[in-house]
Amino acid sequence: MAAAPRLFPAVTVALLFCFPAAVRSRRDALELGDADFDYLATGHETMLVKFYAPWCGHCKKLSPEFEKAATRLKGTVQLAKVDCTAHSETCARFGVSGYPTLKIFRNGRDSAPYDGPRTADGIYQYMKKQTGPDSAHLKTDEHLQTFISHYDASIVGLFSGEDSPHLAEFLRAAGLLREQFRFAHTVDLKLGEKYGVSSESVLLFRPPRLDNKFEDSVVVFRDYLTIGSLRRFIRDNIYGLCPHMTAENRDRLRVRDLLTAYYDLDYHHNVRGSNYWRNRVLRVASKYSGRGLTFSVANKKDFLSELEDDFGLGTSDGGELPFVTIRTKLGHKYTMREEFTRDGRSLERFLDEFFAGRLKRFVKSEPIPERNTAAVKVVVAESFDEVVNDPNKDVLIQFFSPFCPHCKKLEPVYRDLADTLSSDPNIVIAKMNAADNDVPLGYDVQGYPTIYFAPVGRKDEPIRYEGGRELKDFLKFLKSKASHSLVSTGSRDEL
């Protein structure tokens, strides 16, 4: 007689049928959905979740980096993803309105938005800092030397004892800033003697690979210790005269006007060679310090796609010499056309022309339309200032991609809005193809469509539109934000 078939335990059967998305995944990033999100998310102390749409260009670009990071973080931090076109309930529950959206979850609860870099190494480094203590406890000079001999800068607090109120404040600051910087502390004040410090203080150690004769490698914090004062100290001193710009720190560096020399830089395998050109940039930077321009160096290979898109640099352009650019905080871009000379004089001439206002900006732009008579005005990069930054007009600007289905769905509503307000001389309804034109800084476009309102008197503070996408929603928003009473066309009563 044949043996009776062995039955699966009931709980196993339930898992197989209720949570197919997670079981199907063969990659290190879990695939979650409406049915299994809560069950599986609560099983991880820390989890980074990517909410995406398969058609989204930014999502496609992020995907391989996200998968690489998931593999590197396996066993430490779980990475997961949710396809919002298939699992809209979960995405709506967590307020996902654009793609990709990344959020950090702790034990299944939405903890914080992820605002770090979007490269594999950047995600790894950022999420790695989400684990372990906020500040490492150093007990010996050997521990200190090991901690500061690191690729990144180090912030070390020196305190008289575990009960020091300054230590408590330092640890609170470390908890808030751990995603950006490395923190450690000691209660042995003798460890600070070799750096000229004998009382409670904080030392900032710049990365050893960036040591140079133009600036100190260790900076001492001498202000009264609060979270705010420590944050300002780190911000003002951590990068020095000429930092190494990476995909992870570029956004923090670009809050100011920034000059960058791109070349074959490799601090992992060739520190001396990497510093050859950096020292020449440093020499010039020391002459122009205090004039509102930050200097940096970067590995050209790490920014090839950006250099191609933003500055028209081909993969074979530039050769061994640095390719120098300036990107201002307003989004203006300049390139040094003269060959970089070893004595730095070409760089000095470039800077003299920049500060004198004689350089021509580099702009990635479609041609300005010869006729622009439709109700929705077409804006390109070269006409952005003229149209959107017109000081006398309120402007609603939609950033779109020709391939985005959500943009195509919005098009008739947006056109209807423009028709409704076509007789209002004080407002402009506009759109710009963000795939083929430079988007000015101040406009954060991570997905399509993205809509901003640039009001009269506040052109440097555009307001992101987060409302509904029906005609009445747009009109309600504009009525509340416009600098004047709206004027509608015809017999429309939406106002």
Residue-level pLDDT at 446 = 87
> What value does the mean pLDDT take over residues 397-407?
94
Say if residue 9's pLDDT is above 90: no
Does the model's pTM come out above 0.75?
Answer: no
Smallest Cα–Cα separation from 257: which of 321, 312, 358, 325?
325
Catalytic status, residue 242: no
Contact 197, 146 (CB under 8 A): no
- The whole-number average pLDDT for the span 315-324 is 74
> Known catalytic residue: 84?
no
Q: Which pLDDT band holds residue 171 (cuts at 50, 70, 90)?
A: very high
Please report the pLDDT score of residue 76 as a whole number. Answer: 86
Residue 494: pLDDT over 70: no
157 close to 147: Cβ distance less than 8 angstroms: no
Catalytic residue among 84, 91, 242, 404: 404
More confident residue, 348 or 492: 348
Q: Tell me the torsion sign for CA atoms 237, 238, 243, 249.
A: negative
**Of the candidate ranges 183-197, 393-407, 434-448, the one whose mean pLDDT is the lowest:** 434-448
In the sheet where 257-263 sits, what is the strand order?
293-299, 257-263, 323-327, 333-335
The DSSP bridge partners found for residue 120 are none
Q: What percent of the chain has pLDDT over 70?
A: 92
pLDDT digits (tens, 9 = 90+) for 409-432: 999 999 999 999 999 999 999 999
In order of their start, the domains of the chain are 17-128 (3.40.30.10), 136-237 (3.40.30.10), 253-355 (3.40.30.10), 377-481 (3.40.30.10)
Identify any residues that bridge with 201 across adjacent strands, giving them in sequence order.
Answer: 158
Mean pLDDT of the region 235-253: 91
The pLDDT value recorded for residue 281 is: 97
| Statement: residue 361 has pLDDT above 90 | no
Query: What average pLDDT does this structure show over 46-56?
Result: 94
Instruction: Give the integer Cα–Cα distance in Å for 406 and 408.
Output: 5
pLDDT at 495: 61
> Which of 100-104, 177-181, 215-219, 453-457 has the lowest average pLDDT?
177-181
pLDDT computed for residue 7 by the predictor:
39
Top pLDDT among 54 and 9 is at 54
**Cα dist from 188 to 46, 105, 138, 149, 434, whole Å:** 33, 37, 9, 19, 55
Res 493: pLDDT: 53
Sign of the dihedral defined by the CA atoms of residues 387, 391, 396, 400, in that order? positive
pLDDT of residue 23: 39
What band does 438 get if pLDDT is binned at 50, 70 and 90? confident
* Residue 203 binned pLDDT confidence (cut-offs 50, 70, 90): very high
User: Catalytic residue among 18, 56, 91, 242, which?
Assistant: 56
Averaged pLDDT for residues 203-220: 94
Reading the block at residue 313, the tokens are: 């640099």
Task: Give tens-digit pLDDT for 439-492.
Answer: 887 899 988 999 999 999 999 899 999 999 999 999 999 999 999 999 887 545
Long-range (24+ apart) CB contacts under 8 A made by 402-411 are 402/433, 402/435, 403/55, 403/57, 403/435, 404/55, 404/56, 404/448, 404/449, 405/55, 406/448, 406/449, 407/448, 407/449, 410/449, 410/469
User: For 300-308, what is the mean pLDDT?
Assistant: 89
Please say if 18 is a catalytic residue.
Answer: no
pLDDT > 70? residue 10: no
Q: Mean per-residue pLDDT for 143-154? A: 94
CA 240/CA 345 separation, integer angstroms: 22
Across the chain, mean pLDDT equals 89
Half-sphere exposure of 459 (CA within 13 A, CB side): 16
Residue 320 has pLDDT above 50, yes or no: yes
Choose, from 59, 84, 91, 242, the residue flagged as catalytic: 59
